Amino acid sequence: MKAIPVHQDQDILSAAARLAGEDMCSINDLSSAEVRAIMKLGHDVKRNPREYRHALDAKQMVLMFEKASLRTRLSFETGINTMGGNAIFLDQTNSPLGERESIADIARNVERWVDVIVLRTYAHDTITEMAANSRVPVINALSDFEHPCQALADFMTLEEHFGSARGLNFTYVGDGNNVCHSLMLTGAQLGANVTIATPRGYSPDIEIVMLAREKAAANGCEVRLTQDPLAGAEGADAIYTDVCVSMGFEHESTKRAPIFRPFQVNEALMARAARHAVFMHCLPARRNAEVTDAVLDGPQSIVFDQAENRMHAQKALLLLLLGGLSNTASFTGLV
């Protein structure tokens, strides 16, 4: 079956029309078709970067980060720069948003100067409050509740390796944290069977679980929870883990270490997965804690493909939120 040219793809055209000027605070802000559109556009941006070189000419993006960052900052900055726009970074690590002046007042100032606001915060409420008070799009680049940009890049990476996420058996092992939440929602939107293996007391938020199961039912897949990491890994196409102590929870390190030790992704656990299975991690990794060196550096690991695709998935997202396709040659006149 011949592939539909990206500029004629109905998912992309519909997403471009609906998402222009909108926020992306959560994967739940996107329909299944819109998640598919970001995947398709991300692949095309990666294959044909020259086609998008001037798509965001003169667009201004501000990044306001309360947390340290390597991949998120650089992937957003390089992404918009390679499409003709400009990135402005504001380090908020020593002055949390809302401390010096209200978030509403910040939004009403910043919206006068820039075209999009990218936030990396502790409290998810900071992102939703900024979005409620801003006339320009707000993007969640990480909060304590979700990490949607990471999940979009991760499933784009899975599509590269398997052709499609539909029907894949995806297993997350570890803490039911922000990354876990976004992965559940994204997998359910794309038709992947998602298994979450967490220790007792560290399961993902029940409302996110119910929402993901609702989306999974609509897309012909399922979301399953277990407290047995080996059973969860059985036959999986992809095994994913994250640190067991997220930023902001460092004070729980000593308590969490023995609880999460049985959930380490090592060669024994990977042996339970399918022979073709890949290993994934959002990085940074605590080597030989949640994952062993042998797995992280091994032939099944695709962690650096994930890191690379942060830029491409985020470029696709920026193009849709900022109406950039109308400035792209192949899309001119179609959006």
Nearest to 230 by CA among 284, 283, 171, 185: 171
**Beta 169-173 vs 238-241: how paired, if at all?**
parallel
Which residues does the annotation mark as catalytic?
Answer: 120, 147, 150, 242, 282, 310
Residue 321's contacts (CB-CB under 8 Å, 6 or more residues apart) are 19, 20, 21, 22, 23, 24, 116, 137, 139
Distance CA 106, CA 252 (A): 33
> What does residue 2 show for φ and ψ, rounded to 5 degrees?
-75, 135
Distance CA 226, CA 195 (A): 7
Distance CA 147, CA 236 (A): 23
DSSP percent split of the chain into helix, strand, coil, nearest 5: 50, 15, 40
CB 280 within 8 A of CB 298: no
Nearest to 67 by CA among 141, 176, 177: 141
Residue 299's contacts (CB-CB under 8 Å, 6 or more residues apart) are none
User: Crossing angle for the helix pair 32-47 and 148-162, nearest 10 degrees?
Assistant: 70
